[in-house]
A and B are shown apart, each in its own frame.
Chain A
Amino acid sequence: MAVISLPYKYLERLTRTDRKTILDKVALIGSDVERVEEDHADVEFFPDRPDLFSPEGVARAMRGFLEIETGLPSYPVKPSGISFTVDPKLADIRPVLGAAVIRGVEFDDESIQSIMSLQESLHWAVGRGRSKVAIGIHDLDMVSPPFRYIASPRTRAFVPLDYTEPMTMNEILVKHPKGRDYAKIVNDFPLFPLIVDNEDNVLSFPPIINGERTRVTIDTKNILLDTTGTDKRAVAVAVNIICTAMAEAGATIESVGISGVQTPTLAPVERTVSVLECNRLLGVDLTVSSMVSLLQKMRFGAEPAGADRLKVQVPCYRADIMHDWDLFEDVAIAYGYDKIQDLPPKTYTVGKPHPVQVHAAIAREVFCGLGYLEVMPFTLTNEDVLYTKMQRTEHPGVLRVMHPISIDNTVVRTDLLPLLLEFLTMNRHRELPQRLFTVGDVVDSCHTHLQAAGVSTHRDADFSEAYASADAVLHELSIEYSVKESADPAFIDGRRADILVEGKKAGIFGEIHPAVLNAFDLEQSVAAFEIDLRCVLGSAGMQDIS
């Protein structure tokens, strides 16, 4: 999420109303007011609306929403006469370039900060951490056009931002903090992207770092914007959002020629939508003209185009409008979620529990009847608990997560008993007897199913207790079973048995082996059992959707 700092004075001047009116309503366009400070507010906006990542963008939206100025904002663009060439060798490296000239800026510390933070938010939301889009902002008057976007040898040196001595690009990736942060984006390429001017001065090594030469300061009057990346649409969006924000701040925008094409145009995109479809989606009853004004309130251009149709002009900064329904959401926001009639659907339906959960509920009921207390352990655990401490060999269907957060959470559980023993360890200081159970999901390869397990610990916990409890659960679930001597090393030889259903192993019960008790730091004997609930009649084949 992007948290945008909104200085009141600047925001009030741009929005042409007071801070209270703005802050009272800003959540209604889709945001969370995080902090209200003396001189500014921090407001969080959603990642689909990068056009709101600056005070200028927020003011533009709020002028519409508060009906101070509605409809499509216009951004005239005239040619700058400046041009770029793009090196064909960049095709497999970082092929897309966008650029613009922004004239007549008047920076102070606050507005420089604002444009820098817009740049950073765009890197995050649109640029995917600069891999898809990276933005460079330069003092145009420090360099001389035309410019060239080239694939350069990695040994080329220049003075990067915040340094005084030249460094090769190879060195920048190792020594410069930004170089280290973003090296992984370019490291595999034989040549590196570089933007130079007519005199071969370096403007930028995208997506890593600008040159010190074009640093933007309070004295900067004219800006050259470069935007490079791998995706045409994303690069264009970033250019449009920065240019229109700067235009809102009072600058004029000029296009540049990139390989002969003038860009940006900052022109809206046209869409024709149906009022009926909008009404059907939202459950409202809007007329053509009311929908026109709602869209205008959201800064779209809109005009009727027939009985049911509207011609909508989508401003160039609205990257999120991919589909007609995206416009309908804006209509709903302008209309107000609180004004939409909220009635549940009329169709009659009957609730239906899933059989697997019905079985689970019965198992829980039986355990409770036997005096067992339910616990709900995590499903992520580790091999040490599941297998080593249990003296068991690894389950063939165990799944390992590729990047665990800690050594305690490396696998998804294949059994429940070890986790119950862990619980007994945690509760050693609590009064005995302790009888604990859990009913929950385990995995076997990519399949999930329910198992049920119980443990009982006290001075007299033994095989007979385990057998009796397991039998009760099995009986109540109508599971017909037989038993045979087990070889499970987690249990004591001669005090362990496998539960067989239709000849297949479906569970285990017995007395936990003293070596396992030692491993779990337990001092009292433990009677334990675990049942695979796939053996409940009628539950085969309905275990999961996967």
Chain B
Amino acid sequence: MNVIETIELTKRYGKRVVVDQLSLTVGKGEVFGFLGPNGAGKTTTIAMLLGLVKPTKGRALVLGHDVQHEPSLALRRVGAMIEAPAFYPYLSGADNLRVLARAGGIATERVAQVLDIVELRDRARDKVATYSQGMKQRLAIAAALLPDPELIMLDEPTNGLDPAGTVEIRNLIRNLAAGGRTILLCSHLLHEVEQLCQRVAIMKEGKLIAAGDVAHLLRRGQGVRARVQGDPGPAVRLLKALNWVASVTVQGDTILIDAPVERTAEINKLLIKADIVVTEIGASNSSLEEFFLTVTRSDT
């Protein structure tokens, strides 16, 4: 069963298309990375999935229900944290959660449970105005956990956190995922996404430009990298002429060759034969970060 399904979901503000015919699915129990540069349309998509922003066209289904037509059913077991944590500064952490619990018809006993999960019990009676950014972030996750959610949407959950706080939140997400919940994770920390997510979707300027298993996408990004002395132009021209080389790009002083890693020695030999001095050559083990940068840069 798909926990999230969007069908040609589109949001326009005037002539500006913020989300353009987005169709994607997230299955039950998945930890799904939702990536893209700033302004790609990720937050707007999440807001549409939560019924906060009305789509111009298309549909958003959450837990099998249309968010626009059956919002209560769709969002009953959904927890979300969008961008910066938002709370009533004059209320304590626990009271903020009580307000949300009451609004959603959730038993207030659940407040103590979620405060335990995010380890905020000791400061629960203090006003939110006195909380650090990390504590607010944890309280926002506690708020997302209130309805004992099947689906959790986390938009930049480690924003503004120090390294220790980031690790803490990452472990928390890992624990939540281990409990069989579906998690939609938006983050600029791609190393974090690579560690946590099984599948990712990458958006750019409102469009879905890549989606699939993390392992599969990374395999796609594998190839050969080489450095040559002087102008890389002749080397690029030589490599581009080979029919088993899919593409050649230059990043700084490095030539990235989309070709089977087994042919590294052959590439080296060809370059030397053409009087090109190779200073370094080897397999490029693409990280999600590299893959992300490649697809978001190349597709403009």
Our verdict on whether A and B bind, yes or no, reads no
